[in-house]
């Protein structure tokens, strides 16, 4: 004897047909208890099937499965809200759900906006997101070795965003200047030749507009540093004459300027992927990005505030460029145009032409040795017993401002 296959719908059909047969035979009086026991269902279930059967006019379609989806949901997003989220995403295509929600709340505070996770689902439904490739962390995070920035203009971070060619094959060198505390992007300017002259022009403009910082942090490449004593270049020596302390990261450790490098990643994504048609068009893209980055884009490191909410220009204005005053109660001497300085015992010591015309400070550490400073920067040491050696270089890792002496 072959097996007979059945399912829930077939059993319901059999139940309803049997109920209708008994109903017709008994003129509308059906004993539900024995009928339900015969089919192995409870009486409430049997009455439910019969009520649905009568609602559709004794049509066996009532035996079919019904959707359990609710007719309404309190978590449904209104279409106008979803449309507004999608519109803002199209305006800022690189922003994620957190930034979009913060922007919407700040610009339309009277509206009720969904959570960031819900905004993410809206963007996924609109096909406006791409899965991010997971990156394997090969080394642990590096602790910042410099003093924390507790207010604007304590430290400015400076670097080149790496040269690249625009579509017309012109090479550009974007110079970026950012306040480390507020992440305020002060300058994003193209220079066609990354030498000290063009870079100094950009800094003069920034100093006139925003005042002077206390410290400027850079890498060890030109024009910020050189092979001169103390790693000084014409540009960094000019900063010291203005009263600014140059601060350089350790060689091969860009993570020590990590917040600036992270900004470069965002800058490239918004403005140079792909590059613009010409240097002029590229600079226009940089200018638009600067406004958006400072005034529109919420920053997670700033508790979703914009950099303009935290930044204020420096009260220290650009003044006369002079040699720094002595800091360690030593004796001073002027560097001649040929890079030499004359010691008190009339011996000439070669320093560097970079410091020509500037005043150095000599601090005796023993009867036979003295350290040489230019402002806060330790340039090296002089051994009186062997003055022919000239200036003895200090360790490359000695940072600007380091000194074993008390002021």
| 252-262 average pLDDT score | 85
pLDDT digits (tens, 9 = 90+) for 236-245: 999 999 999 9
| Band (397; pLDDT cuts 50, 70, 90) | very low
Q: What is the mean pLDDT of residues 351-367?
A: 86
- Which range marks the domain in which residue 42 is found? 8-63
pLDDT band with cut points at 50, 70 and 90 for residue 53: confident
Q: What is the pLDDT of residue 170?
A: 93
Residue that wins the pLDDT comparison between 56 and 190? 190
Residue 350 and residue 232 in one domain:
no
Q: Are residues 245 and 376 in the same domain?
A: no
Residue 17 lies inside a defined structural domain of this protein: yes
Q: What is the pLDDT of residue 345?
A: 67
Output the pLDDT for position 193.
85
Q: Do 197 and 234 belong together in one domain?
A: yes
Specify whether 161 is located in the same domain as 227. yes
Same domain, 353 and 298: no
394 vs 390, higher pLDDT: 390
Q: Does any domain span residue 321?
A: no
Are 245 and 382 found together in one domain? no
Q: What is the mean pLDDT of the chain?
A: 84
Same-domain pairing of 245 and 377: no
Domain-located, residue 2: no
Structure tokens, 8: 């829930």
Give the span between the Cα atoms of 212 and 218, in whole angstroms. 16
Please state the rounded mean pLDDT for residues 245-270.
88
Residue 255 has a pLDDT of 81
Answer whether residue 276 shows pLDDT above 80.
Answer: yes
Question: Per the structure, how many domains does the chain have?
Answer: 4
Q: What is the pLDDT of residue 256?
A: 83
* Average pLDDT for 221-228: 87
For the cut 60, the answer to whether the pLDDT of residue 142 exceeds it is: no
Let me know if residue 149 belongs to a domain. no
| Residues 15, 83 within the same domain | no
Residue 284 has what pLDDT? 96
pLDDT of 298 strictly over 60: yes
Q: Provide the CATH number for the domain around residue 221.
A: 3.30.420.10
What is the reported pLDDT for 380?
A: 87
Share of residues in the chain with pLDDT > 90 (%): 35
Same-domain check for residues 274 and 348: no
How confident is the model over 168-180, as pLDDT tens digits?
999 999 999 999 9
Same domain, 263 and 368: no
Residue 289, pLDDT score: 95
Residue 295 has a pLDDT of: 95
Q: Please give the model's pTM, rounded to 2 decimal places.
A: 0.72
Lowest-confidence segment of 15-24, 246-255, 395-404 by average pLDDT: 395-404
pLDDT over 70 at 405, yes or no: no
331-353 average pLDDT score? 82
Pick the more confident residue, 128 or 387: 128
- In this structure, the answer to whether residues 44 and 87 fall within a common structural domain is no
pLDDT at 135 over 70: no
């Amino acid at each position: 004897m072959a097996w007979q296959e059945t399912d829930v719908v077939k059993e319901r059909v059999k139940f309803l047909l049997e109920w209708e047969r008994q109903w017709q035979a008994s003129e509308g009086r059906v004993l539900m208890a024995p009928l339900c026991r015969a089919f192995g269902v409870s009486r409430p279930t049997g009455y439910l099937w019969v009520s649905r059967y009568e609602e559709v006019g004794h049509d066996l379609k009532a035996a079919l499965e019904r959707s359990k989806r609710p007719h309404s949901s309190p978590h449904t997003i209104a279409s106008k809200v979803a449309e507004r989220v999608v519109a803002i995403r199209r305006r800022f295509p690189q922003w994620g759900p957190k930034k979009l929600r913060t922007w919407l709340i700040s610009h339309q505070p009277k509206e009720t906006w969904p959570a960031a996770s819900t905004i993410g689902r809206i963007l996924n439904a609109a096909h406006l997101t791409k899965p991010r490739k997971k990156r394997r962390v090969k080394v642990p995070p590096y602790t910042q070795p410099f003093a924390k920035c507790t207010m604007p203009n304590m430290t400015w971070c400076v670097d080149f965003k790496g040269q690249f060619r625009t579509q017309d094959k012109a090479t550009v060198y974007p110079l970026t200047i950012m306040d480390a505390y507020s992440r305020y992007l002060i300058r994003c300017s193209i220079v066609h030749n990354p030498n000290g002259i063009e870079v100094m022009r950009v800094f003069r403009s920034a100093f006139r507009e925003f005042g002077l910082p206390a410290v400027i942090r850079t890498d060890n490449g030109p024009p910020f540093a050189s092979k001169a004593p103390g790693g000084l270049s014409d540009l960094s020596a000019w900063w010291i004459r203005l009263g600014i302390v140059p601060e350089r990261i350790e060689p091969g450790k860009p993570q020590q300027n990590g917040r600036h490098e992270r900004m470069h990643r965002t800058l490239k994504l918004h403005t140079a992927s792909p590059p613009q048609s010409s240097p002029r068009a590229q600079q226009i893209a940089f200018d638009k990005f600067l406004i958006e980055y400072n005034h529109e884009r919420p920053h997670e490191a700033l508790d979703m505030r914009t950099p303009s909410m935290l930044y204020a220009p420096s009260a220290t204005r650009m003044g006369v460029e002079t040699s720094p005053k002595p800091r360690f109660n030593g004796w001073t001497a002027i560097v001649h145009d040929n890079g030499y300085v004359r010691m008190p015992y009339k011996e000439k010591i070669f320093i560097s032409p970079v410091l020509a015309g500037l005043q150095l400070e000599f601090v005796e550490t023993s009867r036979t040795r003295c350290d040489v400073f230019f402002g806060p920067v330790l340039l090296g040491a002089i051994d009186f017993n062997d003055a022919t050696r000239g200036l003895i270089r200090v360790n490359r890792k000695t940072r600007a401002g380091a000194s074993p002496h008390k002021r």
